[in-house]
């Protein structure tokens, strides 16, 4: 089975995660949660052949500029995403994102994807004209696809075309490897991404067996813990006891020992 790695890039909150979720699950997410890094794979039929596509979602915020390149190696196709609801994310395609992938993965195919196309009908005044977008795509040599994750409009056409482009690029890489490459001068390998530190393990919590009953038994049996002593009639034998136990057992001991009792205690004769 053919394996393809598909990477989405673009400014934060332009709709990259919604694009992937809506395409892979046929459902639009209700809550917005900023992505740091996320990846998952699924099998898709392209031209009646199964393809295992790995979808790599990235964070567009500048805070993650140093971590984002870790997801670039072995990418077969890049989706450059922007929101049609404003010009800023479109301008950043040419000023920020294309230079970034040219630096890290210059030979990787890429396509331009406009997100939130449903706004053209609901709020056309804020949308970038399609002619302006197509001019940017033409100047950059990119195929342009307009999509709506909310309505799932254009998703299949966009992803199927991008995956085909990735498959074609992957085959070119395979053909370019000569069987006699051992006689050729090796090109310097791309730097290996640093290994991320392992996640910390949860602390081991050991719950000891309760000794409450045994402790009470020892307290009752050991005279040094008693606070009441009964002298028997002969005056020679002593009986050790505890105020708490006596008063709990009988309300008369509360009166004898001078402790208050919530219930009315009759006077002893």
Q: What is the CATH number of the domain that holds 46?
A: 3.40.50.300
Give the number of domains in the chain: 2
The predicted-structure confidence for 98-136, as pLDDT tens digits, reads as follows 999 999 999 999 999 999 999 999 999 999 999 999 999
Is residue 191 in a domain?
no
Of 176, 204, 225, the residue that ends a domain is 176
Considering the domain architecture, whether residues 171 and 219 belong to the same structural domain is answered as no
Percentage of the chain beyond pLDDT 90 is 47
In Å, what is the CA distance from 29 to each residue of 32, 33, 182?
Answer: 7, 10, 50
Of residues 93, 81, 76, 80, the one with CA closest to residue 41: 76
Residues 6+ apart with CB under 8 A from 169: 76, 77, 107, 108, 109
Check: CB of residue 240 under 8 Å from CB of residue 228: yes
List the beta bridge partners of residue 10. Answer: 81
- In this prediction the pTM is 0.64
The predicted-structure confidence for 225-258, as pLDDT tens digits, reads as follows 888 887 877 767 777 888 888 888 888 888 888 7
Q: How many C-beta neighbours within 10 Å does residue 143 have?
A: 14
Is residue 106 in a domain?
yes
Check: CB of residue 154 under 8 Å from CB of residue 117: yes
Domain containing residue 249: 212-256
What are the phi and psi torsion angles at 234 (to 5°)? -75, -10
Mean pLDDT of 151-161: 95
State the distance between the two ends of the chain, measured CA to CA, in whole angstroms: 98
Considering the domain architecture, whether residues 154 and 39 belong to the same structural domain is answered as yes
């Amino acid at each position: 089975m053919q394996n393809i790695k598909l990477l989405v890039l673009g400014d934060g909150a332009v709709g990259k995660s919604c694009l992937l979720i809506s395409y892979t699950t046929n459902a639009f997410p209700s809550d917005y949660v900023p992505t740091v890094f996320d990846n998952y794979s699924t099998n898709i039929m392209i031209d009646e052949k199964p393809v295992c596509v790995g979808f790599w979602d990235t964070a567009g915020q500048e805070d993650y500029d140093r971590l984002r390149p870790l997801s670039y190696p072995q990418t077969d196709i890049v989706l450059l995403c922007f929101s049609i609801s404003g010009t800023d994310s479109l301008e950043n395609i040419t000023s920020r994102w294309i230079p970034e992938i040219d630096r890290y993965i210059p030979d990787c195919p890429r396509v331009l994807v406009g997100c939130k196309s449903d706004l053209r009908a609901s709020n056309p005044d804020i949308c970038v004209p399609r002619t302006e977008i197509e001019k940017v795509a033409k100047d950059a040599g990119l195929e342009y696809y307009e999509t709506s994750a909310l309505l799932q409009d254009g998703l299949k056409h966009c992803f199927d075309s991008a995956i085909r482009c990735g498959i074609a690029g992957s085959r070119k890489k395979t053909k370019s490897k000569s069987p006699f490459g051992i006689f050729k001068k090796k090109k310097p390998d791309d730097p290996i991404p640093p290994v991320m530190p392992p996640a910390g393990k949860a602390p081991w919590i050991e719950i000891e067996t309760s000794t409450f009953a045994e402790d009470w038994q020892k307290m009752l049996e050991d005279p040094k813990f008693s606070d009441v002593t009964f002298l028997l009639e002969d005056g020679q034998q002593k009986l050790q006891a505890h105020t708490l136990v006596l008063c709990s057992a009988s309300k008369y001991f509360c009166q004898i020992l001078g402790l208050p009792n919530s219930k009315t205690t009759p006077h002893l004769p």
